[in-house]
């Protein structure tokens, strides 16, 4: 597949991460451009990646085959409406990484009848280890699905979601998920310090243990429950620790947390979609 002209509306961290990943994967630098009204953001892109930038979103949109909307959800409606004439003339593939904004609303703001892919990458994309859920509307062709997937794969793994409403679950699990693991790691580190370890040692052991557990889960091929059983000797220390976590309702707490995030994602979509 020959790389097409790719434009980013917004030049923040996620846009830079995607652009950098594409460069590393061989996408020609001359076919990537980022637009942002903030001169400091443009300068940061030019210095870090050596890519062309523009101040005018409409100028960028008029010359792109693929347009990535990488702006905050609360400003997307106004930006999209201003882009509509250029987008309708060019008819690019639209990829939105704005959390919580439904494809129908983006399509409406941009003038309608457009191929739109919603993507929900998480912050681990900033270090090339993202996990992204993708949803395509009915206007997206098979080739465009491949293009969207190749772009998001530049910063991690991708998976397609058949129903758009499940993007809210993706948001709750992988989009918000890094914060859950940071909270667990933070709690473990604090417990280690309270029980005698110095902060530097507690921090190192916590991070390396989390990394090792994730690596085992990714590379071992076993179910998570199987991996847990393998490190839980009957009557041993791990069994006693897990018993305390289960008594504290850890599974139901995570279920409630994911449900709360899904509900909030829907509320935000309703709110932003009113524009």
Note the pLDDT of residue 4.
85
Residue 172 within any structural domain of the chain: no
Give the residue among 162, 173, 90, 126 at the shortest CA–CA distance from 12: 126
Structure confidence at residue 150 (pLDDT): 94
Residue 50: which residues within 8 A CB-CB, separation 6 or more? Answer: 29
pLDDT at 1: 41
Q: Same domain, yes or no, for 35 and 148?
A: yes
Pair type for strands 130-136 and 156-160: parallel
Alpha carbon separation from 243 to 31, 193, 214, 232 (Å, rounded): 55, 21, 21, 11
Q: What is the number of domains present in the chain?
A: 2
In a domain, 274, yes or no: no
CATH number of the domain where residue 90 is located: 3.40.50.720
The pLDDT score that the predictor gives to residue 3 is 62
> What residues of the chain score a pLDDT lower than 50?
1-2
Query: Domain range holding 216?
Result: 177-267
pLDDT of residue 221: 84
Answer yes or no: is 84 within a domain: yes
Task: Tell me the pTM.
Answer: 0.91
Identify whether 168 is part of a domain: no
């Amino acid at each position: 597949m020959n790389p097409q002209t790719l434009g980013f509306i917004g030049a923040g961290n996620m846009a830079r991460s995607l652009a950098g990943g594409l460069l590393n994967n061989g996408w020609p630098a001359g076919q990537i451009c980022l637009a942002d009204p903030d001169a400091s953001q443009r300068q940061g892109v030019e210095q870090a990646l050596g890519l062309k930038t523009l101040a005018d979103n409409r100028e960028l949109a008029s010359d792109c085959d693929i347009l990535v909307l990488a702006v905050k959800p609360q400003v997307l409606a106004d930006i999209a409406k201003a882009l509509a004439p250029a987008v309708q003339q060019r008819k690019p593939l639209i990829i939105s990484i704005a959390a919580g904004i439904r494809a129908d609303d983006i399509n409406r703001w941009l003038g309608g009848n457009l191929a739109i892919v919603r993507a929900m990458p998480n912050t681990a994309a900033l270090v090339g280890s993202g996990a992204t859920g993708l949803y395509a509307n009915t206007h997206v062709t098979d080739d465009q699905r491949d293009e969207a997937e190749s772009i998001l794969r530049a910063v991690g793994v991708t998976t397609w979601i058949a129903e758009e409403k499940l993007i809210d679950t993706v948001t709750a699990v992988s989009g918000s998920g890094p914060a859950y693991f940071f909270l667990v790691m933070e709690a473990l580190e604090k417990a280690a310090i309270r029980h005698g370890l110095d902060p530097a040692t507690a921090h190192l052991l916590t991070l390396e243990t989390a990394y090792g557990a994730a690596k085992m889960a990714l590379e071992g091929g076993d179910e998570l429950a199987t991996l847990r059983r393998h490190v839980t000797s009957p009557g041993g220390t791990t069994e006693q620790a897990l018993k305390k976590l289960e008594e504290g309702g850890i599974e139901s707490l995570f279920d409630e947390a994911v449900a709360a995030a899904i509900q909030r994602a829907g509320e935000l979509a309703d709110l932003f979609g009113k524009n």
